[in-house]
Chain A
Amino acid sequence: MPEQAQRRAPQGQPEENPPDNNHAYEELRHLIIAPEQEEIADIQERLEDLARRTKDVSTVVAEAITLRREQGGDRALAGALAPTIQETLRESVRRDPHVLADALFPVMGPAIRKSIAETLRTMLESFNQALEHSLSARGIKWRIEAFRTGKSFGEIVLMHSLLYRVEQVFLIHRQTGLVLNHVVATSVPTQDPSMVAGMLSAIQQFVRDSFDSKNEETLDSLNVGELEVWIEEGPDAVIAAVIRGHAPPDYRLAMKEALEEIQRLYSSGLANFKGDAAPFHAADELLSRLLATQHREPVAAKKPRAALATIAILVIIILAWAGYSSYLLWEWSRFLNAVRGQPGIVVISYDKQGGRYHIRGFKDPLAPDPNALLSHAGLDPNNAEFDLAPYYSLDDAIVVQRARQLLHPPEGVTLSEHQGELDVEGTASPQWIAGVADRATLIPGVATVETSHLQNSHLLQLKAPQSAIESVFLLFPVGRAELEPGQEDAFAQTQKQIRDIVAQAEHLGEQTSIELIGHTDSTGIEGTNQLLSQQRAEQVRARLLRGGVPPANLRPRGVGTTQPLRAEDTEEGRRLNRSVTFKVTFTPTSPVN
């Protein structure tokens, strides 16, 4: 077994030769473990040398903190660091407050502003509401209510204008009934929260025991007058919300969520609660979120608009009514003025009774019907009643009408009247003309009659033949009383005209009178000329009588040279003066009635 012998040999060596062996062993050991020994020495130095250790930790301290935070140990870390950080801050402030002040400056400004703005907003909100309510009728009603119930006006306003407001939120430790946190809405009066929380817990337990409820059923809500207390229970904590008004069902969900969040965040704190509520102050924000407020819809805002509309409509109606009334009044006064201006009508008085006008006065029978005037003015005749006594009007127009009615003036005659004088103009028969003056003075209102402008219609008819006759010259030779030769035709024609006019006039009731005027020229002596002219007129008369003209109608006369027809500076002039001319007049044959 050579191999075994070889292996045994080294084992026996140290015992046989120790100094030599020891050295070798040391050498061997050194060879084998030297590197590790150096490392150990290095580690030892690292542990003992404070400077190196500090250097080593400094390379990992940031990563270590990050790692710890990621592992969820932030609370412990925060707890560990808090005293140091607080001390550091305190020390920093002690040394030089400006450093920290400068660092916080950008943060504090906005924070302070936000806080102030929030406070102002809350104040303004309540102020606005109070103002709004204090000036309305409702506001006055609420003030009376406040006075009556002894509550503050603010409370009454909130009571009526709030849909709901969560006034207080309690976080209660379920096991002990001790209050862990308590948040309150602005300006809400509160009782000691620890006693209230205790009582709430007692009531919860009382209800649970009394009604022997199974499965940990609990009281969800309490009603206390206008307040409701909503209670939400978790395994270790209870949230109770004191609500004024009626919160929506959604709010229950918000309570549940908040409670779950608290149970999760403070699970160990709740389980090991020994009466120190300080850790739960951090739940302030979560609980404050439950302090919700909701105001009633401002339905009242519409009312003033509706009232305004009603007032506007009323005003329009009143204005329209007033306008229509004054229009009617104006129409009536216009009508009354028209009636007053109407000849033959005198209005003494008028009044309005039951919507009807009552008009009193006098009326000439010849004046127009006032009802017709009313219709003409566009007014309802049913709204007026006339009480007009008959009388004789002296109005010019009425007097003329009356005269026309009584005198029956023929066509072509016009009547006018002014201050009692009746003026009759135009053409009428002599019979009518003869009676008109007497009859007219009997008419009421007529004092005198003017007829000078009346013309006899008969004479007008006879005018043309009269002119024809009166323009005839029957000529005579010098110194003789017989017609010139050649004047026979003219004589014959004239004779016929005279016969006709006498007959026509007689038919009209007129007596014709014809003057036969004999003339001479200025030669010869005056006495002879007078005689001669007389002879010439007689000569024509004799011949007319022979021609059948009645003698009563003819009146011959000689004027000699006294009425020369022409100037005698020519032969023609002297010839025309040796003549007989005619003048025709008429007189009525029968009297007029």
Chain B
Amino acid sequence: MLQKKICMLGSFSVGKTSLVRRFVESIFSDAYQTTIGVKIDKKVVRAGDEDVTLVLWDIHGEDVYQKIRMSYLRGMSGYLLVVDGTRRQTLDDALALNERVIQEAGKVPAVLVLNKSDLTEKWEIDSTRESELTAAGWNILRTSAKTGASVEEVFSKLTTAMLAE
């Protein structure tokens, strides 16, 4: 079976961990994230006629106190960039982070995840901005940790992109 290392990146409290919680296999406690800054989960995705094992490095959200350990990105085949759709600032931070990620790990397939899609009334990212990003080459998906909307799609989309490499 094919294995791929993927990372999950994004600012603090954008809902990364809760986004995937119901969709991945997990054996480690969340405490690892706050201690060593990462927690490893697993997700098996069906791509075409084969299963692909995604080893998911759920990396602690970046904030003013804690920077991402770039060494954790080593060897990844792709990543999810998670943004809180109700806080525009998190998108800007994520894009800034993305620059550093490309610098460190090179250009690899990525999916931009706009989370908390269930909170439409608080949504701060307008469709214009979204179109701009799509034009810039981003795979974008709106998800909801609460409803589970599009979460499976995030993984399959990333997998398809990685296998196309």
Which residues does A use to contact B, with CB under 8 Å? 173, 175-179, 191-192, 194-199, 202-203, 205-206, 208-209, 274-277
Contact = CB atoms under 8 A, between A and B. Distances in A.
A192 B42 contact: yes
B40 A199 contact: yes
Given A195-B28, A198-B5, A199-B40, A205 B72 contact: yes
Contacts of B52: 275
Contacts of A209: 69, 71
Given A192-B25, A199-B28, A202-B72, A177 B55 contact: yes
Interface string B44-65: 0000000011010100000000
A94 to B, nearest CB: 25
Contacts of B118: none
15 contacts: A176-B3, A177-B75, A178-B4, A178-B75, A191-B27, A194-B3, A196-B27, A198-B40, A198-B57, A199-B32, A199-B40, A202-B40, A205-B72, A209-B71, A275-B4
B38 interface: yes
B37 A206 contact: yes
Contacts of B41: 195
B153 to A, nearest CB: 21
A195 B55 contact: yes
B76 interface: yes
Interface of B: 1-5, 25-28, 32, 36-38, 40-42, 52-53, 55, 57, 69, 71-72, 74-77
Contacts of B4: 178, 275
B74 A175 contact: yes
A383 to B, nearest CB: 81
Closest 10 CB pairs of A and B: A176-B75, A198-B40, A175-B75, A206-B36, A176-B5, A205-B71, A275-B3, A178-B3, A199-B40, A275-B2
A206 B69 contact: yes
B55 A198 contact: yes
Contact of A194 (B26, B53, B71): B53
B2 A195 contact: no
B49 to A, nearest CB: 15
Contact of B3 (A199, A203, A277): A277
Given A175-B74, A196-B27, 20 more contacts: A176-B3, A176-B5, A176-B55, A176-B76, A177-B5, A177-B55, A177-B57, A178-B5, A192-B27, A194-B53, A195-B27, A195-B41, A197-B55, A199-B28, A202-B57, A275-B3, A275-B52, A276-B3, A277-B1, A277-B3
A202 B38 contact: yes
Contacts of A275: 2-4, 52, 77
A275 B26 CA distance: 20
A208 B36 CA distance: 12
Nearest to B165: A274
B75 A173 contact: yes
Most chain B beta-carbon neighbours within 10 Å: one of A178, A196, A276: A178
A210 to B, nearest CB: 8
Most chain A beta-carbon neighbours within 10 Å: one of B27, B36, B42: B36
A280 to B, nearest CB: 11
A195 B25 contact: yes
A195 B3 contact: no
A92 B27 CA distance: 47
Contacts of B53: 194
A194 B69 contact: no
B28 A276 contact: no
B5 to A, nearest CB: 4
A171 to B, nearest CB: 13
Nearest to A199: B40
A175 B77 CA distance: 11
B63 to A, nearest CB: 18
A276 B76 CA distance: 14
A192 B1 CA distance: 14
Contacts of A176: 3, 5, 55, 74-77
A209 B38 CA distance: 13
A193 to B, nearest CB: 10
A196 B41 CA distance: 9
Contacts of B2: 274-276
A208 B5 CA distance: 20
Nearest to B44: A194
A176 B36 CA distance: 17
A198 B28 CA distance: 11
A188 to B, nearest CB: 16
A281 to B, nearest CB: 11
Nearest to A198: B40
A206 B40 CA distance: 13
A205 B42 contact: no
Contacts of A199: 28, 32, 40
A203 B76 contact: no
A564 to B, nearest CB: 157
Given A175-B74, A195-B28, A198-B55, A203 B36 contact: yes
A145 to B, nearest CB: 26
A192 B74 CA distance: 21
Most chain A beta-carbon neighbours within 10 Å: one of B2, B55, B76: B55
A205 B74 contact: yes
Contacts of B5: 176-178, 198
Contacts of B55: 176-178, 194-195, 197-198
A480 B4 CA distance: 185
Contacts of B77: 176, 275
A205 B69 contact: yes
A197 B53 CA distance: 13
A209 B4 CA distance: 23
